[in-house]
């Protein structure tokens, strides 16, 4: 069984409480549970790690090299400035999906630049609580394309 690594960045542990008008009322645990069900339905195990610390997420990406088929990552605010995370993702050879619950392009100007986007396979953004499920589905579809 292949492994998909799901990473959630800073402040995502507060989903359901933090700015529900933007991020909704669904908790991270609920989103991860749904993502795991989708992965398992397609024959993949899902590992999830959330951290408010950039280095922990970099370490998780590095540990996924040669072990995981895909990385689906919601980098949170790190999206906009973490060249360390982008560099780590660039070394991962599997499918990489950038994920955002809100649509960064429709928000503040500083959110409109992603330093992660150039090194990922694709992006799922602006679809709210459907995003985690759709991110896993996208990763699975791309893995199947690679055969």
- pTM given for the model: 0.94
Extended beta strands in 51-91, E state: 70-74
The residues, ordered by sequence, that sit 6+ positions from 75 with a Cβ below 8 Å of its Cβ are 7, 9, 57, 82, 85, 98, 116
Per-10-residue mean pLDDT of the chain, 147 residues long, equals: 95 90 88 98 98 98 98 96 97 97 75 91 94 97 93
| Number of domains present in the structure of the chain | 1
CATH number at residue 28: 3.40.50.9100
- pLDDT attached to residue 108: 72
Residue 98 lies in domain: 2-146
The residues assigned a catalytic role are 23, 100
């Amino acid at each position: 069984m292949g492994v998909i690594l799901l990473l959630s960045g800073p402040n995502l542990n507060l989903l359901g409480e933090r700015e529900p008008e933007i991020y909704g009322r669904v908790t991270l645990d609920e989103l991860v549970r749904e993502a795991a069900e989708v992965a398992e339905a397609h024959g993949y195990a899902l590992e999830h790690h959330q951290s408010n610390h950039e280095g922990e997420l970099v370490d998780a990406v590095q540990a996924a090299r040669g072990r995981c088929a895909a990385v689906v990552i919601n980098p949170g605010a790190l999206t906009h400035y973490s060249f360390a995370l982008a560099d780590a993702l660039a070394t991962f050879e599997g499918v990489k999906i950038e994920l955002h619950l809100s649509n960064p392009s429709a928000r503040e100007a500083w959110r409109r630049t992603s330093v992660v986007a150039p090194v990922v396979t694709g992006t799922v953004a602006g679809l709210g609580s459907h995003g985690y499920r759709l991110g896993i589905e996208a990763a699975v579809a791309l893995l199947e394309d690679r055969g």
